[in-house]
Structure 1
Amino acid sequence: MKKIAFFDIDGTMVNVPNGMLHPSDETQQVIKKFQEQGNYIVVATARTQIPESVRNINFDGYICSDGHYIEFHGETLINNVFTDDEIDMQLQVYEAHNGSCALGGYSGNWVSSHSDPYLKQHHAIYSGSDDLSHIPLVSHCAGEIKANSIAAVFSSAEDLFAAKAKLPEKWAINAYGDDVDIRMDVHLEGFSKGTACEYLYNHLNIDKHNTYAFGDGHNDIEMLQLVGTGIAMGNASDVVKASADAITDTVDNNGIAKAFKKYLAIDY
């Protein structure tokens, strides 16, 4: 029977803050061996675009923006984007609460500022560089933005939650007020990372028993619960680990490769 495995990126395949910008050789080996056995490998990330270091593995599919963009074998299955009015409303809300934002879609990225220090810090966490100058400004791209996800950053948790309270309750919002990167990831209602994985394996007629997922973040909890075998990374929080069926080693210590060896008999 064909199997499918879903992989988070940050904290699962790479660890940018620690300088690990590429999945380890061992991780790439087991993922490719799994695919060569006739199974599917799919990225499932909050990122709006896939870094080249991950894309080079040639995954079968990509779930981006926490489920609001789904692609499989080059075909776009889901692409939920904000309207121009919804974007304008958010820009006004964030500015009123001393916030800035980065907007992203599968076709591009945009920022509200090139100089905001919290936006630069946010960008550095995920890219390794705080240079925003190459990213188009929202103010220069009116009517051209196709964003699935908006990351709004703030200097304080107070501003974060005040802004969040002004957004539609039905939207899917993950707020991180106690993080170094004080922000919220904002998406439209509909899919989450977990339900997007469930949608895809059902779309492909793969039995849940033959589905696997690897993750470390709080936005991975539902994904870990909606597959047959959810595997939390060793660097995940206790809350995430408690939601998983199994726990492997950390991202820095080849957690994915070790899990493939233990649970799928694929060595590296």
Structure 2
Amino acid sequence: MIKRSVIFFDIDGTLLNHEKQLPISTKEAIFTLKEQGHEVAIATGRAPFMFEDLRNELGIHTFVSYNGQYVVLNGEVLYSNPLNISSLEALTAFALHNNHPVVFMDHEDMKANVPEHPYIKTSIETLKISRFPTYDPHYYKGRELYQSLLFCLEGEERQYEQKFQDFDFVRWHPFSVDIVPKGGSKAKGIERIVEKLGFQQEQQYAFGDGLNDLEMLATVKNSVAMGNAEDTVKKAAKYITKSVEENGVFHGLQMVGLL
């Protein structure tokens, strides 16, 4: 009898290939895991509304979203860690001065502080989602935001890192970085779930490929980096599987003995 485990999967570059498609082998592997009694969860930088269709397709109701800031267990919110709004307001004013747009994000929607900008259009389009941020420069007022997006070129985020100590900045696109609470990560969100469900370290697995997966792969005992991951990400993982284009999730699950 296979010992019950919990497996966390990143989305972009892990579950979904670079065309944002779910490989058949990955879908079949997920359903096999569930049939065997394992707990299957998602750990992503995306907002909950950006992967609702994927959750429904795979029948997954437990997830870590916003890089650990909004955690749901079996359809119920388990943990949330909102941004410091006064610091975000100051950052937004500084970003406007630099002509760097900001997108505000809560668990339901995302709004931009400028009517339009090519950096927003180009980067959001790569996610291949149906929703696009509309204009509301005051969306941050009176609500909890779990992540924001700062749009700037690589290296330009350094000035924000020095000036705004309440936040961490994680690049996900040449034109954009995630803004998350200081110390927030997928690993912290995963901790909340495994503590609640009672899984031991040996029963915990995680698959990822991006820079926002570093803490997760370094923390989860049985971590697997995708073959398409950067070298720094691969070094953080215990195992390295094939790329997402080569059925990497399926082969990785075989490698660690879950399939």
In the superposition, the TM-score normalised over structure 2's length comes to: 0.89
CA-based RMSD: 2.2
2:222: which partner in 1? 229
Correspondences of 1:95-110 after superposition (within 5 Å): 95-110=96-111
Aligned partner of 1:196: which letter? G
Count of residue correspondences: 255
Aligned partner of 1:27: which letter? T
- The alpha-carbon distance between structure 1 residues 161 and 262, as it changes in their structure 2 partners (threshold 3 A), is closer
Q: Secondary structure at the match of 2:104?
A: strand
2:54: which partner in 1? 54
Aligned identity (percent) is: 25
1:171: which partner in 2? 167
Correspondences of 1:20-169 after superposition (within 5 Å): 21-49=20-48, 50-55=50-55, 56-82=57-83, 84-127=85-128, 132=132, 135-139=133-137, 141=139, 143=141, 145-155=143-153, 157-158=155-156, 160-167=157-164, 169=165
The question of whether the paired residues in 2 share the 8 Å contact of 1:173 and 1:186 is answered with yes
* Separation in 1, partners of 2:143, 2:117: 20
**Cα displacement (A) at 1:172:** 2.5
Q: Secondary structure at the match of 1:196?
A: helix
Deviations along 1:176-227, one digit per CA (max 9) or x if unpaired, are 4xx8623321112353111221231122110110110000012212111221
* Separation in 1, partners of 2:153, 2:191: 36
> Could you tell me which of 179, 186, 201 is aligned with 1:193?
186
The question of whether the paired residues in 1 share the 8 Å contact of 2:104 and 2:140 is answered with no
Aligned partner of 2:247: which letter? N
The question of whether the paired residues in 2 share the 8 Å contact of 1:211 and 1:227 is answered with yes
* Separation in 2, partners of 1:82, 1:246: 33
> Could you tell me which of 180, 184, 200 is aligned with 2:177?
184
Deviations along 1:38-66, one digit per CA (max 9) or x if unpaired, are 11111101112242442121213110111
Aligned partner of 1:147: which letter? L
> Could you tell me which of 10, 13, 17 is aligned with 1:11?
13
* Separation in 2, partners of 1:243, 1:156: 22
Aligned partner of 1:3: which letter? S
The question of whether the paired residues in 2 share the 8 Å contact of 1:152 and 1:184 is answered with yes
In the superposition, the TM-score normalised over structure 1's length comes to: 0.86
Aligned partner of 2:220: which letter? V
Aligned partner of 2:119: which letter? Y
Question: Which ranges in structure 2 are unaligned for 5 or more consecutive residues?
Answer: none
Question: Which ranges in structure 1 are unaligned for 5 or more consecutive residues?
Answer: none
- The alpha-carbon distance between structure 1 residues 194 and 265, as it changes in their structure 2 partners (threshold 3 A), is closer
**Cα displacement (A) at 1:265:** 4.8
Aligned partner of 2:151: which letter? V
* Separation in 1, partners of 2:217, 2:123: 26
* Separation in 1, partners of 2:136, 2:85: 11
